[in-house]
Amino acid sequence: MQFHPVGFILQIVFGSSGIVMSLFMLLYMAGCWKILEKSGLKGWWALIPGAREYQLSRCAGREPEGRVLSVVTVLQWLSEIISSTPPILRRFNVERLDLTVMFFGVIGLTLTLIIFIYFIQVYSGLCEVYQTRKRWIVLWVVAQWLPALLWGFCKKYQPSWKVADMNAELAKLDFGGSVSSIEDGLTINLKERSTMEFFQKKILLRDIHMNIPKGHMVLLLGGSGAGKTTFLNAVNGYEKADAEVTLNSRNMYKQYKQMQYDVGVVPQTEMMRGKDTVLYTMLDAAKLRLPQWVSAADRRKRVEEVMDLFGLRPVQNNLVEKLSGGQKKRLSISLEFISNPSLLILDEPDSGLDGVMARELFEQLRKIADTGRIVIVITHTPDRVIDLFDDVIVLAKDSAQTGRLVFYGSVDGAREFFDCSRMEQIVKRINSVEEGGDGLADEFVMKYAEVQNG
């Protein structure tokens, strides 16, 4: 059974059991206050419906479930207020009010069922954290105020870990500080990328420092949610972070408008009009990506150069929708390459391509890197083309769900560091157990910090 302050106040006024229920609620909040404090959180969160459930889920190691639970709890709380409308208000519109109360009553019952299901998961997590038997779940469901009081106030019951334990341990690590900017290449000194999410500051990325020389083709690895896209958006200036990013000695953040065409970003989803021809699509992109002072003749010349480079001249008069998968990928890259960027970023360019077509595409990217450009690529099938890469960046979520740098270096160095022969095995090593991985992200974050410090 779920309790809410406003609901209890209404029951005090309009129901005989209101005082008893209110007492149970006060005991429950007191117990939750102490449980939150034992887990290193602010106890006063226990006074706020929705926030209380979310913070408890963090204590239980069930934060994703807690996000859903907090939202549904607030909705159920509101529906309870409406369905508990005092009878005196019915005089204004009896029929309409009755229907409204009935409707929100049904909604409230549905939300209560959802809350029950998610609370079972949270209670199960709390039992694991407090190292107690699963039978405690029954008591949590029947009389949640009693186990809350016992676990909160009895010294016998202590959590096996605190919410901020690993985060604090990782924060103490010395990652060697910033790296010096290089004249020819990309320098990244990212201290933090954060946002506000569910009553707290959420750190998405932290402590990422590296130099990528020009002419290097770099593989970006990481499991789902590790922050790969967030990292690339911070690098190209699309989502600014607490960072300093320089490309060939020019500051990406301070000179963003002047440098936005010096970086080419090819998204996974193709954003081209199918009814346009290849040539028209390229010319249209040239108008947008080349400076206004470039003449029409020079734009046409640049378009033809790029089409020749990517093998698109034979299909220049074909409609985009008639192109093969590989041709569409090459066209997407060509649109970004028109402005002759120094840095080219690609998000899964081989998505939907077979092995042969993917190989041809990556060989083209290798040629681009060999012209002195930096190419950074995300791909979920890296092993079939790993011989074409110079370096590997590996990001992983630590126990605080923060994206961290766990490796940057050569391909052979990555194999040795993770003791893996294949890149896909590296991802398995750092992914959480729930995601089918080995759950070793924290260990590799610490190992990389030790390597960086000699």
Range of the domain at 187: 169-262+341-452
Q: Residue 66 — very low, low, confident or very high, per pLDDT cuts 50/70/90?
A: confident
pLDDT in tens, 27-56: 999 999 999 999 988 999 999 888 898 899
Please tell me whether residue 74 adopts helix, strand or coil conformation.
helix
pLDDT on residue 109: 80
Phi/psi at 124 (nearest 5 deg)?
A: -60, -40
The half-sphere exposure of 33 on its side-chain side, counting CA atoms within 13 A, is: 10
pLDDT in tens, 346-359: 988 888 778 788 88
Q: How many percent of the chain have pLDDT more than 90?
A: 33
User: What domain count does the chain have?
Assistant: 2
pLDDT on residue 225: 81
pLDDT on residue 385: 93
34 and 91 fall within a common domain: yes
143 and 224 fall within a common domain: no
pLDDT in tens, 379-432: 988 999 999 999 999 999 887 778 899 999 999 999 999 999 999 999 999 988
In a domain, 391, yes or no: yes
Q: Indicate the burial class of 91 (C-beta count within 10 angstroms; 0-12, 13-18, 19 or more).
A: exposed
The enclosing H or E element of 139 equals: helix 136-142
Select from 162, 179, 199 the last residue of a domain. Answer: 162
246 and 193 fall within a common domain: yes
150 and 207 fall within a common domain: no
In a domain, 346, yes or no: yes
In a domain, 136, yes or no: yes
Enter the tokens of residue 345: 């970023």
Answer yes or no: is pLDDT of 242 > 80: yes
Q: How many CB atoms lie within 10 A of CB 7?
A: 22
44 and 97 fall within a common domain: yes
The mean per-residue pLDDT over the stretch 160-177 comes to 62
Answer yes or no: is pLDDT of 8 > 50: no
d(CA 208, CA 190): 5
pLDDT on residue 1: 46
CATH of the domain at 254: 3.40.50.300
355 and 440 fall within a common domain: yes
14 and 149 fall within a common domain: yes
In a domain, 267, yes or no: no
Strand pairing category for 200-213 and 217-222: unpaired
The mean per-residue pLDDT over the stretch 259-282 comes to 84
120 and 219 fall within a common domain: no
151 and 173 fall within a common domain: no
pLDDT in tens, 190-220: 998 888 766 667 788 988 999 999 999 999 9
Enter the tokens of residue 399: 């126990």
Select from 131, 162, 193 the last residue of a domain. Answer: 162
**What residue has token string 């209101």?**
18
In a domain, 429, yes or no: yes
107 and 90 fall within a common domain: yes
Select from 137, 162, 187 the last residue of a domain. Answer: 162
435 and 351 fall within a common domain: yes
147 and 180 fall within a common domain: no
- Mean pLDDT, the chain, rounded, equals 84
pLDDT on residue 83: 60
Q: Residue 16 — very low, low, confident or very high, per pLDDT cuts 50/70/90?
A: very low
